[in-house]
Structure 1
Amino acid sequence: MSTKEWILSQHDGASLYQECFYDFEKHAVNPNPAVIQIENPGSFSITQEDLAGAGPYSQLVVEIPAERFDEIAIAWCKSRKLQGRLGGPVGLEWGSPDCDLE
C-alpha cells in the first residue's frame, strides 16, 4: 500500500510529494522519486519524437515562478535533511527539519 507523502502542498501552483510505501524503515529517508505536481503552469511543452537509430525521445518543459521553485527546493532539502551538505545547520537550529519552531 502507498500514500502521497506531501513535502510542499500548494493549492495554486507547484507542489512536491513522494509516494510513501510502507516497506522501508520508518526512520529511513524515503527512497522513492520526487514528484512535482503543477496546476495551471505559466507555459509548458511536450516533445516526443523517434530519432532515427537512437530510439524514442521525449521532453517535458514546464514554467513555474522562481519563488515557487525556491519554496520547493527548500522544502526538499529540509525533508531530505540535506542542510549539512549545503553548509547550513546540522542540529536543532532554527530552519533545521528537526527543529520544532517554524
Structure 2
Amino acid sequence: MSTKEWVSSHSDGASIYQECLYDSETHDINPNPAVIQVDGPCNYSVTREDYADSRPFSQLAVEIPADRFDEIAIAWCKNRKLHGALGGSFGREIGSPDSEY
C-alpha cells in the first residue's frame, strides 16, 4: 500500500499528488511522478487509436478551471522548491516558499 503526498487538494476535485515511495534520506525532494486527479470533471475526453503501422496513440484531456490550475501550479512550484527558477531565491516574491501567492 502506498501513501499519497498531496501537493494541492481542493473540494472542487482538481488536485495533485505524488506517491511517497522514495528514500527521504537520499532525496530532499520527492522524485516520483506528479499525478493530477480530477474528480467529477465537467468536460473530458479520452482518445485511443491504433495506426496502420501498429503504433498506438492515446490522449487524455480534462478541463480544469484556469484559476484552480494556477493554484495547482503555484503549489507544485513551491513543493519542488523552484522559486529560484521563477525570478529569485530571496524574500516573498511570487513562487518562493514564503509567498502567499
**TM-score (normalizing by structure 1):** 0.83
Contact 1:2 1:22 in 2 (8 A): no
Q: Deviations over 1:56-83 (max 9, x none)?
A: 1100000010001000000000000101
Contact 1:18 1:35 in 2 (8 A): yes
Structure number with the higher strand fraction is 1
Structure number with the higher helix fraction is 2
Q: Distance in 1 between matches of 2:27 and 2:52?
A: 47
Partner of 1:68: 68
The one-letter amino acid paired with 1:28 is D
Over the residues paired in the alignment, what is the CA RMSD in angstroms? 2.0
Deviation (angstroms), 1:51: 0.9
Taking every aligned residue pair, what percent have the same amino acid on both sides? 64
Total equivalences in the alignment: 98
Segments of structure 2 that go 5 or more residues without pairing to the other structure are: none
Partner of 2:16: 16
Post-superposition, which runs of at least 4 consecutive aligned residues in structure 1 deviate over 4 A? Answer: none
Segments of structure 1 that go 5 or more residues without pairing to the other structure are: none
- Does 2:92 align with 1:94? yes
